[in-house]
């Protein structure tokens, strides 16, 4: 069993997945941040592969991408770092990024090396389901990489069902029609959408992401979903604290 499947079979609620950008704030921070996240009680580690043109991201993650690229981060180095963190880290590791750096690295080579390094899954926001099924699915399956698709408030039920059927692992429910970034509390409209997802009784667990930034938003998300993903808020914390005090950040989100 893949570590993602293992996690979701064991834990159904309040799952905390934390996203950060590889090579940010400095090139050598990727491994210590993962180690600290595990110690602090995160459930999933999501590492962003930086890209020059992250169109689904708001200013905070755009900036972390720029810094990481200026620091010299790339796919090959990131996979070495993942291998390094696997000396201690047991949590599921998911890589999130845009397709182009992976295409240049070589999709098959990426799958083989990521899998060997201990990566469990990928989230590629600009790889739509149709392209996945046409081109990439076989490869990902062969190397036991679980692919997570996004759904958003404007995704039709019919399409959500299709995505559910094409998914192994978990579904990423984007909390609003927006790019990444914190936006304060969830609106009633957003909660209605979470509820709608909950009532679909999907075959896969789902995590809510985009705009989860504190205990309140995390708790709201966890009322409807199996857990939530924190990204921009953690990146802002890393920037302010130069990559330190991770435990205090996790404590400020996690439900006790």
Residues of this chain that interact with other proteins (CB under 8 A) are: 51-53, 55-58, 62, 66, 69, 74-75, 98-105, 125-128, 130-131, 134, 149-152, 154-156, 159, 174, 177-179
The residue among 124 and 253 lying less far from other proteins, judged by its C-beta, is 124
Give the span between the Cα atoms of 23 and 105, in whole angstroms.
18
**Bridge partners of 227?**
15, 207
Beta carbon of residue 155, minimum distance to other proteins (angstroms, whole number): 6
Query: Is residue 208 classed as helix, strand or coil in its secondary structure?
Result: strand
Beta carbon of residue 3, minimum distance to other proteins (angstroms, whole number): 25
The residue among 48 and 91 lying less far from other proteins, judged by its C-beta, is 48
Query: Which strands make up the sheet holding 227-230, listed edge to edge?
Result: 146-148, 121-123, 93-96, 44-48, 15-21, 227-230, 206-209, 171-174, 150-151
Beta carbon of residue 169, minimum distance to other proteins (angstroms, whole number): 16
Beta carbon of residue 222, minimum distance to other proteins (angstroms, whole number): 22
- Torsion, Cα of 179, 43, 78, 5 (10° steps): -100
The residue among 1 and 130 lying less far from other proteins, judged by its C-beta, is 130
Judge whether 190 and 175 are in contact, CB under 8 Å.
yes
Give the span between the Cα atoms of 145 and 94, in whole angstroms.
9
The residue among 90 and 159 lying less far from other proteins, judged by its C-beta, is 159
Active site residues: 46, 57
């Amino acid at each position: 069993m893949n570590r993602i499947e293992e996690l979701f079979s064991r834990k159904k609620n309040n799952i905390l997945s934390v996203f950060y950008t590889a090579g940010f704030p400095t090139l050598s921070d990727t491994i210590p941040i993962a180690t600290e996240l595990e110690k602090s009680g995160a459930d999933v580690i999501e590492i962003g592969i930086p890209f020059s043109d992250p169109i689904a991201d708001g200013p905070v993650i755009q900036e972390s991408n720029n810094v990481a690229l200026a620091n010299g981060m790339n796919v090959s180095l990131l996979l070495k770092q993942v291998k390094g963190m696997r000396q201690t880290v047991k949590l599921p590791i998911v890589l999130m990024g845009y397709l182009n750096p992976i295409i240049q690295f070589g999709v098959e080579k990426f799958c083989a090396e990521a899998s060997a390094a201990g990566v469990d899954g990928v989230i590629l926001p600009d790889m739509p389901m149709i392209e996945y099924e046409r081109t990439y699915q076989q490869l990902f399956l062969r190397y036991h990489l679980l692919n997570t698709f996004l759904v958003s408030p404007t995704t039709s039920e019919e399409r959500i069902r299709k995505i559910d059927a094409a998914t192994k692992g978990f579904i990423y429910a984007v909390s609003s029609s927006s790019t990444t970034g914190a936006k304060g509390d969830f609106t009633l409209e957003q909660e209605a959408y979470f509820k709608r997802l909950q009532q679909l009784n999907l075959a896969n667990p789902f995590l809510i992401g985009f705009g989860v930034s504190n205990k309140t938003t995390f708790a709201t998300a966890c009322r409807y979903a199996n857990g939530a993903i924190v990204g921009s808020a953690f990146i802002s914390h890393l920037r302010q604290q130069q990559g330190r005090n991770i435990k205090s950040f996790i404590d400020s989100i996690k439900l006790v």
